A and B are shown apart, each in its own frame.
Chain A
Amino acid sequence: MFDIFKSMLKEEWRMHSNLFGNNGFSLFPVFIFLFAFLVSLVLPIFREIFTYAQIALGMHYLFLLLGGMIGAFGLMGREFMNRRFGQASLIAYSSRTLPVSERLIFANFLVKDIVYYFVLYVLPFIAGFSLAAALIQAENFHFPVTLLILLLTLSLSFMIGLSLVFFLSTIYAHSGKLLTSGLLASFILLLFVSGNPGSGSFYSLPSLSFFLLPSKNQFLLSSVLIIVPSVLSLVFLKVDFPQAKKSFPNSFSRLCERFGSYRYAAFVAKDLLDLKRSEGGFGKLIFSFLLPAALIWMLLSALEAVLPVLNTLILFSLILGVLSSSMYNWLTEYDIFASYAFFPLKPSDMIRSKLNSYLFLNLVPLILLVLLIFRIDPAVLLPALLLFIPISLYMVSILVYLTGLSPSINLYNGRTFALYTFSVMPLLLVNVILSMFSPFYAFINLLLLPLAFYLLGQGFRKWDRIESPRF
């Protein structure tokens, strides 16, 4: 069993270093370390605004989300690997050729994900935070005992997120429609309940509770939340074998007809069918967008309860704009330019087509935002929209410029990720601070529109110049 685990670890490392280049990829944990270190240096400022418990809450939910997002990659990771490396080229997808059971392979895969991403994300983050905490002598984050507990509890949060999403994806494999409608109903319920959340309920995350007040019970509860969903995922594991072939009537032509003479009709129709028919289907919209959005809304609502100066709706518009840009990642998951390089198309044509699909998909967060605003405070509709739209466009223009048609791959390059962060973080911080004064500051973000269009133009030229992009 240990051989499979070791091979999977090697495979993961080689795959990443092959995709992102040895230097670029090995820099990634270093960048996480530096980022955590630099952000943590301003901890005393954060302590003026937030309590110790609130900072801990933010960190633990961040890692819960991170675990969930890595788990969600399992929903579409297989497709990505198949496109890049050919069919069944990973051990995880080789249960038909290896003389071991699917469960054993999946168990190894789960442990490998935990160990690998612990080293890649969790450890560098804690190391950066600890170094900063030791230097600035952060109150309550005592070195080394509290920081060692933090290492444990953030890891637990990460594993809870990972195992819960693996479990959800297992249910999805058995009954996608049931899970989708169940989650959608839960989401809507949460959205309406979250108007008046009991802020205390957020502290019931066992890993967070353990950090704030270490006890055997909280540790056991955290472990149960990791082990039980993982075991259930293993017991009810379902591998989608290729013989389950699907047939579809020609929806492409029908969609194209609906778009009429729209220039990018064929590409947008194809992108929508990719999303609908790929593993997870439109469920990806729930796992990777609506659930994180709901979680963020609840956190913001909780923060507003203790920090009335925050404008939750405006901040939510800002974060929704950032979150929306992840939709560009989804759209580029199903294509490599090599599939189109022999047609009369340039990389910029493909990027333009993806941007058109992106605008279509952005209708989802837009509608969500409008509904939320009408329910809570219609007066902020205009500033919220003037924040959401330019931020979403600016974020995607940065992605296009830096990563072209392969954001999910190129962002793992340490240098690119650093550039991306430095292009985005200051802007977000300024927006967060300004939002405390008046929602109408949002008009300033209109200035981002010409910048976004400029970056897009430069991005088109840049990617057209690059010869035969691999992805």
Chain B
Amino acid sequence: MPAIERIDNAGSGITGFYRSLDMIEVKNLSKFYGSTKAVDSVSLSVERGELFGLLGPNGSGKTTMIKMLTGQIKPTSGSLKVHGVDVLEDPIRVRELVGVIPEQETPPSFLTAEEYLHFVAKVRKMEHYEAICERWFEFFDFKDQKNSLCKDLSRGTRQKLMFAQAFLHEPELAIIDEPLINLDPVMQRKVKDFLAGYVKNGGTIFISTHILEIAKQICTSIGIIYRGKLVYTGRMDNPLLQDGNLEEFFLELVSRPGNSDTCVSISAQYA
């Protein structure tokens, strides 16, 4: 049951008198491609100020979840609200409010890094964005490449750029598919610190990853998805997940033979 509070939302752009504390509310969400169940009856909520990690092996439905959360694809059934907005009714509003980093970095080939950030700022109808862009180049230490074409940037640098575009408009919620992919250890540390600090300052982050280290180090709560079913959700401060138990727990959930229903019962043993 999501927590509800009465708030003054004047000027927030979010319709309705009440706003849930949950930044993401998903109920019985399914996405089928023919007979393939990419996401199967998933329900979860992510509260404001959380750093939620959706964990799962490759092909388990993480990216499909993210695409549905950001209104890029429509669910087969179920409902979902992001930032208080019904995604099915107003996906554009959701993408206005949220910062998104997709699975693969895709900045346009023939704009330079700086031009791309300016382009994003224009698309997001921002004003006075130059200084903000400059700060991101400094933060990620790639000021020397801001005049390089995006197609000539290394994958790591492109990921930095995608990170910058997602946070350019200082969203309250960011949804990130594999946040540390292609980044070197120094930058990984920097990003992890940034995400932790962002959440401390009231932001909310939803990440999907198959790298358990990230969840262990920075997530406040996790969900484990396997073959489209959410087989576990819980807080990271659960003692069962501490001291290396997360890896064992995860592997037991996803490596048992049989279908994902078996996994639900396994997770129940741990709960």
Residues of A within 8 A of B (CB): 79, 82-83, 242, 245-253, 256, 265-266, 270, 273-274, 276-278, 334-336, 338-346, 467-468
Contacts and interface: CB of A to CB of B under 8 A. Distances in A.
A277 B118 CA distance: 18
20 contacts: A82-B109, A245-B148, A248-B112, A248-B115, A250-B115, A252-B111, A252-B115, A252-B119, A256-B118, A266-B119, A270-B111, A334-B108, A335-B108, A336-B106, A338-B106, A342-B72, A343-B123, A343-B124, A344-B96, A345-B95
B48 interface: no
Contacts of B95: 342-345
A278 B148 contact: no
B107 interface: yes
Nearest to A467: B73
A338 B92 CA distance: 15
Nearest to A79: B109
Interface band, chain B: 20 to 34
Please list the 9 inter-chain residue pairs (A to B) with the smallest Cβ-Cβ separation, ordered nearest first.
A252-B115, A266-B122, A342-B100, A245-B152, A344-B96, A277-B110, A344-B95, A247-B147, A339-B106
A468 B124 CA distance: 20
Contacts of A252: 111-112, 115, 118-119
B111 A273 contact: yes
A341 B67 CA distance: 9
Given A79-B109, A334-B110, A249 B119 contact: no
B102 interface: yes
B110 A278 contact: yes
Interface in B112-167: 112, 114-115, 118-120, 122-124, 147-149, 151-152
Contacts of A340: 123
B192 interface: no
A250 B147 contact: yes
Contacts of A468: 67, 72-73
Highest count of chain B CB atoms <10 Å: which of A246, A338, A344: A344
A250 to B, nearest CB: 5
Contacts of B106: 336, 338-339
A344 B123 contact: yes
B120 A343 contact: yes
Contacts, number: 92
B37 interface: no
B92 A339 contact: no
Nearest to B93: A344
Contacts of A242: 152
Contact of A274 (B92, B100, B108, B152): B108
Nearest to A251: B115
B74 interface: yes
B45 interface: no
B205 to A, nearest CB: 15
A71 B144 CA distance: 37
B60 interface: no
A344 B110 CA distance: 21
Nearest to A342: B100
Interface of B: 67, 70, 72-74, 92-93, 95-96, 100-102, 106-112, 114-115, 118-120, 122-124, 147-149, 151-152
Given A252-B111, A265-B122, A340-B123, 19 more contacts: A82-B109, A249-B147, A250-B112, A250-B147, A253-B115, A266-B123, A270-B111, A274-B108, A276-B110, A278-B109, A334-B110, A335-B108, A342-B95, A342-B102, A344-B92, A344-B123, A345-B95, A346-B92, A467-B74
B152 A246 contact: yes
A248 B147 contact: yes
Nearest to A256: B122
Contacts of B102: 338, 341-342
A295 B101 CA distance: 47
A344 B118 CA distance: 16
Nearest to B72: A341
Contacts of A253: 115, 118
Contacts of B147: 247-250
B5 to A, nearest CB: 27
Contacts of A245: 148-149, 152
Contacts of B108: 270, 274, 334-335, 339
A246 B123 CA distance: 25
Contacts of B101: 342
Nearest to B70: A342
Contacts of B107: 339
Indicate the member of A253, A265, A335, A346 with the most B CB atoms within 10 Å: A253
Contacts of A335: 108
A342 B120 CA distance: 11
Contact of B119 (A82, A270, A338): A270
Contacts of A82: 109, 151
Q: Which of B73, B112, B124 has the most CB of A within 10 A?
A: B112
A405 to B, nearest CB: 14
B111 A344 contact: no
A467 B67 CA distance: 11
B160 to A, nearest CB: 17
Contacts of B123: 266, 340, 343-345
A240 to B, nearest CB: 12
Contacts of B120: 343
Contacts of B109: 79, 82-83, 274, 278, 334
A339 B200 CA distance: 30
Contacts of A247: 112, 147-149
Contacts of A249: 147
Contacts of A344: 92-93, 95-96, 123-124
A338 B152 CA distance: 20
A245 B113 CA distance: 13
Nearest to A465: B74
Contacts of A345: 92, 95, 123
Given A246-B149, A248-B147, A342-B100, A274 B73 contact: no
A245 to B, nearest CB: 4
A305 B236 CA distance: 84
B116 to A, nearest CB: 8
A245 B147 CA distance: 10
